[in-house]
Chains A and B, each alone.
Chain A
Amino acid sequence: MAQALNAALRDSLRADPDVLVFGEDVGALGGVFRITDGLAAEFGEQRCFDSPLAEAGIVGTAVGMAMYGLRPVVEMQFDAFAYPAFEQITSHVAKLRNRTRGKIELPMVIRIPYGGGIGGVEHHSDSSEAYYTHTPGLTVVSPATPADGYSMLQEAITASDPVVFLEPKRRYWTKAEVELPAVTEPMRRAVVRRAGTDVTLLAYGPMVTTAMEAAEAARAEEGREVEVVDLRSLSPLDADTVCASVRKTGRAVVVHEAPVFGGYGAEVAATISQRCFHYLEAPVARVGGFDIPYPSPKLEEHHLPHTGRVLDAIADLQWEEDR
């Protein structure tokens, strides 16, 4: 996926002279995850460069650049290191269109490697999506596959609204045969990754792989046909695709790494309850991290949702045989 994201940035820089990439260590180093590898060499210091070390500064100046018509793509080095930029993101990036009655448009992308599973010490593994999805005015997306990494990032860069682009860092090294330029489904649409009839798993970013594995295991172990929906866009939520699947299966489990309490899964569950109530055979279940600060590497395996927990949640969905 890292290479696909890199290719998307490269192709976007080629296609539009207004696109520029900046942040911490994105120049000569190519980013700590090498997502911007080679861009400074190919496009020069004007279009891909290291800024001073300050996230509020990075996002705040990107706002000014976007106001002037450029399309900045900025990198926050890790999820928890985007917090100094929170004020710029929530008070300005999200609101400038609204505050100026549509006069100011901010075509900018804030790329954030997020989530755990890489053995990072504290502040390197947060799932911060709910802070952003709770902020009207932001488009929040997260690719789960290399092809989506390429296609969604390109689309985010051409969008007229600001996009928080959450990259599942533990999936950076996921490999797939992808013909570039890849064009996948539109960025704001959810996608059915695996068809099934008994239950719908709803996941995004790093947990899509986990959901797919759980679906395989559920078939092998229980003979259940599990449908997996990759949400892709968290805000807006593609409720039509979600509800079409749940109406078909009658059962739903939302899976994410973030703590369950107040997490994004609550929004999905509420939407399903409201729109599919009469189709549901059981309450919508949520599988996520515990309600704790992200733990140290030696304990993260116990915190992160794994297939076993997804299977347990599926097993608890009031199946006929249990009644």
Chain B
Amino acid sequence: MTATELNPQQLLPGGTPIRLVDESGTPVEGAGFGLPTSDVLLGLHRSMVIGRRFDRQATALTKQGRLAVYPSSSGQEACQVGAVHAVGSRDWLFPTYRDSVALVTHGVPPVEVLELLRGGRHCGYDPYRYRAGPQCTPLATNALHAVGLAHAARLRGDDAAALVFVGDGATSEGDAHEAFNFAAVWGAPVVFFVQNNQWAISVPLAKQSKAPTLAHKAVGYGMPGHHVDGNDAAAVYAVTARALSEARAGNGPSLVEGTTYRMDAHTNADDATRYRPGDEVRAWHERDPLDRLTALLRESGLLDETSTAAVDEEAEGLAADVRAQLGTDVHIDPDELFAHVYAEPTAGLREQANLLAEELASEQKEV
């Protein structure tokens, strides 16, 4: 289909965010999307409980000086968990610094996820093993990588797609726009998931974009934009799953905007009281994504005391494990500095490695 044949109406997001479960946990009519199966819903719940517990543990470890920095995703669990549950076994994930919960949900061991933020190595996991790019800090740059990888998969004849997370602020970067356009022009099997948590550090969405919604941006590039209630895990899952399967089927990219909220400060180093009102934060407490899903599952009898306790226990176990593993200092061999700069270390690097080794050895002798 050429761009001129596209009917822009079909690409536009609906007037209100897609929602399958309302704030009280009651199922609602959802713009052509059905409620996911019980198994999926229970899986989402489990991952959200674990994700939240993990996030709290990481925040606590940061206060104890065990992590160099931690950007919490508290409040954004429905987006990260919902979208990642839609990722297929051959698909790739391109996360940002904010998406540790997404990575844990994706199956990356929590300690490997935290290696970057702990200040140990730039990436603690093997991207090929988990089909996940390294957590990306330069904003929106990962969007282009996702497009390239997804396009490459198609060139190879594989039916893999890529899911890339970007923040609301990151949609202002030039790289985001180049990625949207490349993806649409190439028909690349990629889904851009914009976690609109309302704030880019201290800058509110209103100063970032004048578009009716961020999902509307998709239309200008010739791909569909979906606007979803980002605190409704069921809706996030349903919309992302369809977007990814369309992508895998060769029907091109799409953009999903999940409206959510960053409950904590930007990172532990930030003081959010300097720029945002407490009322706003309190209002979002009322829309908690985990409470919503829990209410639905309890109401429908899918979750009872025993199964809730089992999930909680699993989350506690994971947190205890993270505590134990991050509570001890790891020694990183300084020689690692030179290890992966090139496939083969250059003569210059070998010389520098030797110099450092000598320096450390003589310090050793002095003490």
- Provide the bound-state CA to CA distance between A30 and B172, in Å: 21
Task: Please name 8 pairs of A and B residues whose Cβ atoms are closer than 8 Å in the assembled complex, sorted by A.
Answer: A50-B203, A53-B169, A53-B172, A53-B173, A53-B208, A84-B174, A124-B137, A290-B349
Which of chain A's residues have a CB closer than 8 A to the CB of B121? 296
Contact A297 B119 (CB under 8 A): yes
Q: Which of A21-29, A65-73, A144-152, A159-167 interfaces with chain B?
A: A21-29
Within 8 A of A (CB), among B189-224: 200-203, 207-209
Contact B274 A291 (CB under 8 A): no
B117 CB-CB contact with A under 8 Å: yes
Beyond A30-B274, A122-B122, is A292–B138 a contact (Cβ under 8 Å)? no
A83 CB-CB contact with B under 8 Å: yes
A119 CB-CB contact with B under 8 Å: yes
Which of chain B's residues have a CB closer than 8 A to the CB of A298? 118-120, 330, 332
Interface residues on B, range: 35 or more
- Provide the bound-state CA to CA distance between A57 and B332, in Å: 40
CB closest chain-B residue, reference A60? B174
Q: Which residues of B contact A (CB under 8 A)?
A: 68-69, 97, 116-122, 137-139, 169-170, 172-175, 200-203, 207-209, 269-270, 274-275, 330, 332, 334, 336-338, 341, 346, 348-349, 352, 356, 359-360, 363
Contact B337 A25 (CB under 8 A): no
A123 CB-CB contact with B under 8 Å: yes
- Provide the bound-state CA to CA distance between A239 and B299, in Å: 78
Which of chain B's residues have a CB closer than 8 A to the CB of A27? 202-203
Contact A121 B119 (CB under 8 A): yes
Which of chain B's residues have a CB closer than 8 A to the CB of A293? 341
A32 CB-CB contact with B under 8 Å: yes
Within 8 A of B (CB), among A279-314: 290-293, 295-299, 302-303, 308-309, 312
Which of chain A's residues have a CB closer than 8 A to the CB of B116? 121-122, 296
CB closest chain-A residue, reference B168? A53
* Residue with the highest number of chain A CB atoms closer than 10 Å, among B69, B201, B202, B207: B202
Which of chain A's residues have a CB closer than 8 A to the CB of B68? 119-121, 297
- Provide the bound-state CA to CA distance between A120 and B67, in Å: 11
Beyond A292-B337, A292-B349, is A81–B203 a contact (Cβ under 8 Å)? no
Closest Cβ–Cβ distance, residue B25 to chain A (whole Å): 35
Contact B348 A52 (CB under 8 A): no
Which of chain A's residues have a CB closer than 8 A to the CB of B173? 53-55, 84
A96 CB-CB contact with B under 8 Å: no
CB closest chain-A residue, reference B97? A121
A261 CB-CB contact with B under 8 Å: yes
Contact A80 B138 (CB under 8 A): yes
With A50-B207, A52-B207, A84-B175 given, name 5 new contacts (CB 8 A).
A28-B202, A53-B172, A298-B119, A302-B334, A302-B356
Interface residues on A, range: 35 or more
Closest Cβ–Cβ distance, residue A223 to chain B (whole Å): 20
Contact A121 B138 (CB under 8 A): no
Which of chain A's residues have a CB closer than 8 A to the CB of B336? 299
- Provide the bound-state CA to CA distance between A15 and B121, in Å: 47
A56 CB-CB contact with B under 8 Å: yes
Which of chain A's residues have a CB closer than 8 A to the CB of B203? 24-25, 27, 50, 53
Contact A24 B201 (CB under 8 A): yes
Contact B174 A57 (CB under 8 A): yes
Which of chain B's residues have a CB closer than 8 A to the CB of A83? 138
Closest Cβ–Cβ distance, residue A237 to chain B (whole Å): 25
Beyond A24-B201, A84-B174, is A291–B348 a contact (Cβ under 8 Å)? yes
CB closest chain-B residue, reference A55? B173
Closest Cβ–Cβ distance, residue B58 to chain A (whole Å): 14
- Provide the bound-state CA to CA distance between A120 and B170, in Å: 20
Within 8 A of B (CB), among A30-62: 30, 32, 50, 52-57
CB closest chain-A residue, reference B203? A50
Contact A299 B117 (CB under 8 A): no
Closest Cβ–Cβ distance, residue B105 to chain A (whole Å): 22
- Provide the bound-state CA to CA distance between A194 and B269, in Å: 36
Which of chain A's residues have a CB closer than 8 A to the CB of B119? 119, 121, 296-298
Closest Cβ–Cβ distance, residue B333 to chain A (whole Å): 9
Q: Give the contacting residue for A290; candidates B139, B330, B337; CB below 8 A.
A: B337
- Provide the bound-state CA to CA distance between A297 and B67, in Å: 10
Which of chain A's residues have a CB closer than 8 A to the CB of B69? 120-121
- 1/0 per residue, CB under 8 A from B, across A167-206: the answer is 0000000000000000000000000000000000000000
Beyond A119-B68, A122-B137, A303-B337, is A296–B202 a contact (Cβ under 8 Å)? no
